[in-house]
C-alpha cells in the first residue's frame, strides 16, 4: 500500500478507536464495507453493524450484508423501515433524501443507544461533496459521525485501499437507493420501485456493471456507460432487454444517449 494511503488508513483507525464503541450503518456497498472493516480493526468486539431493510434497497444487498458480517465476525442488527410511510417521502420532494435519512438515521441512533454503543458511523466520503446530498443535513443534525470524510478519503482511495486489504467490494459498482431513479416530484410507489429493482437486476445479470434504470411513469430510460452502447444495440441483446422490461411492466424502453451519470435525477 502506498505510504501516504497507509498513513491515511492508520489515521482513520485512530479516529474510530477514539469513539470507544460504534455502530456502523452498513449497506454492503463499497464505502460502508470499507468503514466496517476499519471499525472492526480499530474497535474489535466494540464495533457493530446495522442494516436497514426497506423498499428503497434491493433485497440482494441485504443478503450480501448479512454474509459479510458473518464472515467478518461482527454483530449485525437488522432494522425494517417502511420509508414510504415517512411523512412526505412518497411525494418525492427536493428534500426527500433529508426526510428519509432523518427517519433512518434516527432509528439507527436509537438502536445504538439502546445497545450501549457510543456513536453511529456512516460512510460518506470527500467525493460525496461533489453531488447534491440533502441527507447529509440529517446526519449532521443527529450527530452521526462520518470518519471517512474526517480522514480525508475519496471514493477512488477507498477502492484502492479496499483492494489492498482484499475486500470483496473494491470494484463493486456504485449503488444509490432506488428512489434516486425517480424524477423529483414524481410519486414513488412500491410497485415502481420493484420494477426498477427487477430491471436493473436483469441488466446486471446480462453483464452490465454501472447502469441505472430511470423511471418516467411506464417508460424506462436506461443509463449505461457509453462503452456498453455497442453491446446493447446487438439485436439479441436489445431484443432481450426490451422483452424483459416489458414483462416487468414497462410500456416503453429507451436508451439515454448521454450515458450513465450519477445523480442525473437530482
Query: Domain spanning 3-165: which superfamily?
Result: HUPs (3.40.50.620)
pLDDT digits (tens, 9 = 90+) for 247-263: 999 999 999 999 998 76
Mean pLDDT for the stretch of residues 207-232: 95
Q: DSSP states of 169-237 as a string?
A: TTTPPP---GGGGBPTTSPP-HHHHHHHHHHHHHHHHTT--SEEEEEETTEEEEEE-GGGHHHHTSHHH
| Residue 169's pLDDT band (cuts 50, 70, 90) | very high
In the chain, domain spans: 3-165, 178-255
Q: Please report the pLDDT score of residue 132 as a whole number.
A: 67
Q: Which CATH architecture has domain 178-255?
A: 2-Layer Sandwich (3.30)
Q: Please report the pLDDT score of residue 264 as a whole number.
A: 65
pLDDT digits (tens, 9 = 90+) for 86-135: 999 999 999 999 999 999 999 999 999 999 999 999 999 999 876 667 88
SS3 44: helix
Question: Quick check: 47 and 69 in contact, CB under 8 A?
Answer: no
Global pTM value: 0.92
Domains 3-165 and 178-255 share a fold: no
Cα-to-chain-centroid distance, residue 215: 18
Q: Please report the pLDDT score of residue 174 as a whole number.
A: 85
Q: Please report the pLDDT score of residue 133 as a whole number.
A: 77
Grid cell 471499525 is found at 39
Mean pLDDT for the stretch of residues 236-245: 98
Mean pLDDT for the stretch of residues 44-52: 97
| Euclidean distance between CA atoms 43 and 136, whole angstroms | 25
Amino acid at each position: 500500500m502506498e505510504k501516504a494511503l497507509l498513513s491515511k488508513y492508520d489515521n482513520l483507525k485512530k479516529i474510530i478507536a477514539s469513539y470507544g464503541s460504534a455502530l456502523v450503518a452498513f449497506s454492503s456497498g463499497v464505502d460502508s464495507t470499507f468503514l466496517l472493516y476499519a471499525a472492526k480493526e480499530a474497535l474489535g468486539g466494540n464495533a457493530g453493524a446495522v442494516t436497514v431493510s426497506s423498499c428503497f434497497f434491493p433485497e440482494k444487498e441485504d443478503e450480501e450484508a448479512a454474509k459479510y458480517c458473518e464472515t467478518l465476525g461482527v454483530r449485525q442488527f437488522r432494522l425494517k423501515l417502511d420509508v414510504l410511510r415517512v411523512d412526505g417521502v412518497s411525494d418525492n420532494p427536493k428534500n426527500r433524501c433529508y426526510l428519509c435519512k432523518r427517519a433512518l438515521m434516527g432509528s439507527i441512533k436509537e438502536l445504538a443507544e439502546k445497545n450501549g454503543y457510543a456513536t453511529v458511523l456512516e460512510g460518506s466520503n470527500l467525493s460525496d461533496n461533489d453531488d447534491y446530498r440533502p441527507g447529509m443535513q440529517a446526519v449532521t443534525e443527529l450527530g452521526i459521525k462520518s470518519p471517512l470524510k474526517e480522514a480525508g478519503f475519496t471514493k477512488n482511495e477507498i477502492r484502492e485501499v479496499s483492494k489492498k486489504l482484499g475486500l470483496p467490494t473494491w470494484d463493486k459498482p456504485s449503488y444509490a437507493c432506488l428512489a434516486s431513479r425517480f424524477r423529483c416530484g414524481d410519486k414513488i410507489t412500491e410497485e415502481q420501485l420493484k420494477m426498477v429493482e427487477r430491471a436493473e437486476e436483469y441488466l446486471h445479470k446480462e453483464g452490465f456493471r454501472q447502469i441505472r434504470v430511470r423511471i418516467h411513469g411506464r417508460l424506462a430510460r436506461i443509463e449505461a456507460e457509453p462503452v456498453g452502447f455497442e453491446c446493447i444495440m446487438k439485436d439479441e441483446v436489445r431484443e432481450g432487454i426490451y422483452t424483459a422490461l416489458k414483462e416487468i411492466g414497462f410500456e416503453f424502453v429507451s436508451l439515454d444517449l448521454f450515458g450513465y451519470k450519477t445523480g442525473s435525477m437530482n
